[in-house]
Amino acid sequence: MDEKSKTICDGQDKHTLNNSPIVGIVTQLSDGKKKEHGQEFIAASYIKFIESAGARVVPIVLQQSEEHYEQMFNSINGLLLPGGDPDLLESEVARVSKIFYKLAIKANDEGDVFPIWGTCWGFQFLMCIACNKDILVSTPDRRLSRKLIFQPGYEQSKLFRMSVASEEIVKILSKDAVAFNNHKDGVTPEVFKKYGLEEFYQILTTNHDENGEEYISMLEAHKYPFYGSQWHPEVTSFEFSSRFGPHLKHSLNAVRASQYMANFFVNEARKNHHCFKDEGEERAALIYNHTPVYTGDFVGYAQCYFFKTPSTL
């Protein structure tokens, strides 16, 4: 792919939105019974979350070469880093995420908009990679929904400025406990400041864990289209298992808040004009080539996509 096609494909105008965006989602290594179905997986709720906002999805499988990921980066329009529990700096998931993160930094510096959204593990990764250190501390909040505590300056943020987010969305998130959390660790504002992350990120919201400890629950980068939530907006509309506990909300307000996050991120991906070299390559990469498996009887997720990929390393 030549230099021009990295940022704009034939027939597309870089000054208009790309209304056929494709978002990559990084896989996680399977564990437990999930191993019986494939080496890697993506919970289907992440895929539905992106599709609900009008984008398509490409799975970013592990154990591939850096050249493969560079080609994939130049073919997709944004990246979602999902939840999980791999090592934040040394795991294979982290290796792959680092490659995309560095490519996104370079691309955005050159005016080629490439957004990243991190959820739970992905949210934590975005902070840890920015200071190249695992800075997590214990902030347990297991299967609990919270009201977001908005921080000063949030109304000037890209994610929540009033020209983008309606007053009603902010009201829902601040007055109704619709942000579903399920994590054992997080980043406190004190740790965030200790490692100088305020120079890179703006804290948008915080919450308090089961023990009353304050942790960061949403942020965005000052300079880059990087966004993150410690909570899980993708589960609200698509997960109903009792394994998530009784606090997962499916109310109209909860769905509206979740859908806002999907719409915002996908609209950021519309600003990118990367594309596959031809229609056949695009079709071969899309999630439609894979069939979800019902997993509700052994994990919380109703469905997962599984992948068995030979290493090219």
275 is catalytic: no
183 is catalytic: no
Note whether 258 and 272 are within 8 A (CB).
no
Return the closest-CA partner of residue 204 out of 248, 259, 264: 264
**194 burial type by CB count under 10 A (0-12 exposed, 13-18 middle, 19+ buried):** exposed
CA atoms of 168 and 259, how far apart (whole Å):
13
Pick the catalytic residue from 9, 15, 37, 120: 120
CA atoms of 178 and 180, how far apart (whole Å):
6
**241, 245, 246, 248: CA torsion to nearest 10:** -70
Element holding 172 (H helix, E strand): helix 167-175
Which two structure tokens, joined as six digits, stand for 28? 């996680």
β-pair type (116-119, 226-229): parallel
At position 293, the amino acid (one-letter code) is V
Return the closest-CA partner of residue 254 out of 176, 178, 180, 150: 178
Q: What are phi and psi of 293, to 5 degrees?
A: -110, 135
Return the closest-CA partner of residue 26 out of 131, 98, 90: 98
Return the closest-CA partner of residue 116 out of 99, 132, 133: 99
Note whether 207 and 217 are within 8 A (CB).
yes
E strand residue ranges, 242-307: 293-294, 303-307
Pick the catalytic residue from 68, 208, 222, 232: 232
Which are the catalytic amino acids?
Answer: 120, 232
